[in-house]
Structure 1
Amino acid sequence: MTRTVYVNGTYLPETDAKISIFDRGFLMSDAVYEVTSVLDGKLIDFEGHAVRLQRSLDELDIKKPCTKDELLKIHRKLVVINQIEEGLVYLQVTRGSDGDRDFVFPSEDTPPTLVLFTQNKPGLADSPAARKGAKIISIDDIRWGRRDIKTVQLLYPSMGKMMAKKAGCDDAWMIENGYVTEGTSNNAYFVKGNTIVTRPLSNEILHGITRKAVLRMAKEAQMQIDERLFTIEEAREADEAFTTSASAFVMPVVEIDGIQLGNGIPGPIARRLREIYLEESRNTAI
C-alpha cells in the first residue's frame, strides 16, 4: 500500500511528494528531526518530542513551521490514514529554500520545509532483538560538537552502524577523549550491582526523550543512578548494559567488543526497565 505523507501543508501519496533541489536540508543538512513511536495506534511521549523539536529549532534559529497542536493533528491523521498500530512517525523541519545554493542563510521570510511520514513496524514492542540482546563494538566519535541538537547530520552514525554490521554486531558505541558518548542512535548505559551508570547531559550527547523517562522510572523503582563519564573498559566489566531510544525503547546489550556481559543474555534491570517503560508508555499514549 502506498503511504500517505505530509509535505508543507498537503497530504499526498509518497510517490507524489516533492521538495526543491535547493532545499537546505538536502544541500546543507540544515534541518532537524524527531521520531515518535506509535503503540496501539497512539503516540508515545509526543509532548517530549515536541519540546525537544522546539529546542533544536531555537538553537539553529530555524523558524517554527506550525503550532504544537497542529503538529499533533498531523501526526494523528497520518497514523489513522496509514493504519499504523505499531510503528513510527518521522518529522523533519528544514530551513527551506530561497531558490539557490548559498552558505548564507536565506532571508527571514523564507518558509521552513515541514515533512512527515509514517513507518509501519509490527512487533515493535515485542521485539526479538530485545529478547536476544544486542552486540556492540566501540568506535571513535568524530562527529561535530553539538550533538544535543537533533540534526539530520547522520552520515557518521550510519557509517558506525555499518562498521558494526561488518563486524557481525548490531550497533556501535562512540568514544571521545577516552569516554563513551553514546550509541549511533541511542543513549548508552551499563549496570554494576544495583547502579545504572550513564553519561550526564551536555552538548556531547543527545538529550534523549526515552532516556529522561527511563531514568525517572528507574529512580521510582528504587534503582541507583550515577550520571558520570565512563570508559568502554568499565562497560565491558559490567554486570549488564543497555541503550534507550524512541524506536527501540530499552534495548539490552549482551556483548561489547567481543566480551560477553554477565551470562550473555539480557540482564534483569534492562528487562525490568523495558517492561516498566512499555507499560507506562501505553497508559499515557495519546
Structure 2
Amino acid sequence: MSIAFLNGSFLPLEEARISPLDRGFLFADGVYEVIPYYSGEPFGLEGHLIRLQRSLEAVRIPLSTTTAEWEALLQQLVVKNGGGDLSVYLQITRGAYETRNHAFPDEISPTIFAMVSPITPPLAADATKAKGITAMTIPDTRWSRCDIKSIALLPNILLKQQAADSGAQEAILVRDGHITECAAANVFAVKNGTIYTPIKDDHILGGITRDIIIGLAQDHHMPLQEIAMTQEFLEQADEVWISSSTREILPVVELNSRPVGNGEPGALWQLMAEHYQANKKRVFREANV
C-alpha cells in the first residue's frame, strides 16, 4: 500500500482526505511539481524546488517551507515507500475555507499533499532499443501563463485526448503559428546538425529536463539555439524530440502522419540520450561521495 503525505502526516494513500471546500478542488487554485527519484535519490531536485517556489509566488500562495525542509520531507516519503525508481507528485493548494469565494480568503492554511508512483524505465535509458513515438500539431488553446505549473490542467487534458483520438501519442502545441510545447513536455528539433528549442516565455513551462538538455549540449559542444520555432520549421526537421522529468528524452518518429527524417530515432537523439544517462550516473556518483 502506497504511503502519502498530507498536511503534516504520513498515511496510506487510500486514507488521505481533503475538504470539499479546498480551493484546489473548487477552483484548481494550486500548483504542483513532479520529481523523479532513481534508486531512492532525487534527480534535478534543486531545479524543481526553485520552479515550485516561483509558481507559488506567481499565484500568491504564501509558504515559508525551506529547500532543506522540502528535501527532508520528500526523502522521508520516498523511504517510507521503499525507495527505488519513483515519481514524486507534490501539490500545494491555497487550502480550504468556510465559504466558496473567488477572492483570496484573508486567513487560510495551504494544503500540502505528496504521493509516489513507480517510474517506467524511459526510452533514453537504452537508446539502442528505442522505437520513438507519434505526435501531431494542435492549436494551443491554453491560458497565457503556462510558465506557472498550475494544477488547472483541463486544457492540457483535452489537447492530449484530441491527439489520442487521432491515434497520436503526443500533442505538440501551436500558438500564432509558432510551437510552444507539448501538453506535458517540451519540444526540440534538429536540423542540419543543430538542435533547436522554442524560446522560453509565458506560453512555455520552463522544463527542468529541458534545462538539463541545454546544459549537456553546451558541455559536449553540440550546437543548440533557442528560437521562435514555426510549425513549418518543425515539420521540416531532421529529428524531433520531446522532454519531461519522468520520460526524459523521447524521439518523435512520426509527425502529423508523416515520418520525421527516416522514421527512426535520429543519431543526435541517440547521442543526447547517452549523454543524459551518463550525466545521471555522474550526479548520483558525486552525491554519494
* Conservation of the 8 A alpha-carbon contact between 2:21 and 2:98: yes
Question: Gaps (5+ residues) in structure 2?
Answer: none
TM-score with structure 2 length normalisation? Answer: 0.94
Read off the aligned partner of 1:188 and give its amino acid letter.
V
Equivalence for 2:66: 67
* Conservation of the 8 A alpha-carbon contact between 2:127 and 2:273: no
Equivalence for 1:136: 135
Read off the aligned partner of 1:225 and give its amino acid letter.
L
* Total equivalences in the alignment: 284
Establish whether residue 118 from structure 1 lines up as the match of residue 130 from structure 2: no
Query: Hey, what's the Cα distance between the residues in 1 that align with 2:257 and 2:56?
Result: 39
Equivalence for 1:56: 55
* Conservation of the 8 A alpha-carbon contact between 1:65 and 1:111: no
Query: Hey, what's the Cα distance between the residues in 2 that align with 1:9 and 1:73?
Result: 13
Question: How has the CA–CA distance of structure 1 residues 186 and 116 changed in structure 2, closer, same or farther, with 3 Å as cutoff?
Answer: same
Structure 1, 49-58 or 222-231: larger mean CA deviation = 222-231
Query: Hey, what's the Cα distance between the residues in 2 that align with 1:119 and 1:62?
Result: 26
Question: How has the CA–CA distance of structure 1 residues 231 and 129 changed in structure 2, closer, same or farther, with 3 Å as cutoff?
Answer: farther
Equivalence for 2:231: 232
Identity %: 35
Structure 1, 226-235 or 244-253: larger mean CA deviation = 226-235
Equivalence for 1:163: 162
Equivalence for 2:5: 6
Equivalence for 2:27: 28
How far is 1:130 from its partner?
7.7
Equivalence for 2:105: 106
Equivalence for 1:243: 242
Give the secondary-structure state (helix, strand or coil) at the position aligned to 1:271: helix
Question: How has the CA–CA distance of structure 1 residues 65 and 111 changed in structure 2, closer, same or farther, with 3 Å as cutoff?
Answer: farther
Query: Hey, what's the Cα distance between the residues in 2 that align with 1:130 and 1:6?
Result: 37
Query: Hey, what's the Cα distance between the residues in 2 that align with 1:239 and 1:82?
Result: 42
Query: Hey, what's the Cα distance between the residues in 2 that align with 1:154 and 1:80?
Result: 29
Query: Hey, what's the Cα distance between the residues in 2 that align with 1:243 and 1:268?
Result: 15
Q: Deviations over 1:90-109 (max 9, x none)?
A: 000111112221101011x3
How far is 1:70 from its partner?
1.4
Question: How has the CA–CA distance of structure 1 residues 148 and 277 changed in structure 2, closer, same or farther, with 3 Å as cutoff?
Answer: same
Read off the aligned partner of 2:169 and give its amino acid letter.
D
* Conservation of the 8 A alpha-carbon contact between 1:191 and 1:240: yes
Q: Deviations over 1:9-49 (max 9, x none)?
A: 00000111011111111111110000001112211110000
Query: Hey, what's the Cα distance between the residues in 1 that align with 2:277 and 2:154?
Result: 30
Query: Hey, what's the Cα distance between the residues in 1 that align with 2:283 and 2:127?
Result: 24
Give the secondary-structure state (helix, strand or coil) at the position aligned to 1:262: coil
Equivalence for 1:179: 178
Equivalence for 1:188: 187
Runs of 4+ in 1 over 3 A off after TM superposition: 124-130
Question: Gaps (5+ residues) in structure 1?
Answer: none
Q: Deviations over 1:191-238 (max 9, x none)?
A: 001211111111110011111111010111111112111122211111
RMSD: 1.7
Give the secondary-structure state (helix, strand or coil) at the position aligned to 1:90: strand
Query: Hey, what's the Cα distance between the residues in 1 that align with 2:274 and 2:157?
Result: 28
TM-score with structure 1 length normalisation? Answer: 0.95
Query: Hey, what's the Cα distance between the residues in 1 that align with 2:215 and 2:7?
Result: 36
Query: Hey, what's the Cα distance between the residues in 1 that align with 2:83 and 2:275?
Result: 23
How far is 1:66 from its partner?
2.1
Read off the aligned partner of 1:193 and give its amino acid letter.
N
Give the secondary-structure state (helix, strand or coil) at the position aligned to 1:132: coil
Read off the aligned partner of 2:118 and give its amino acid letter.
N
Equivalence for 2:77: 78
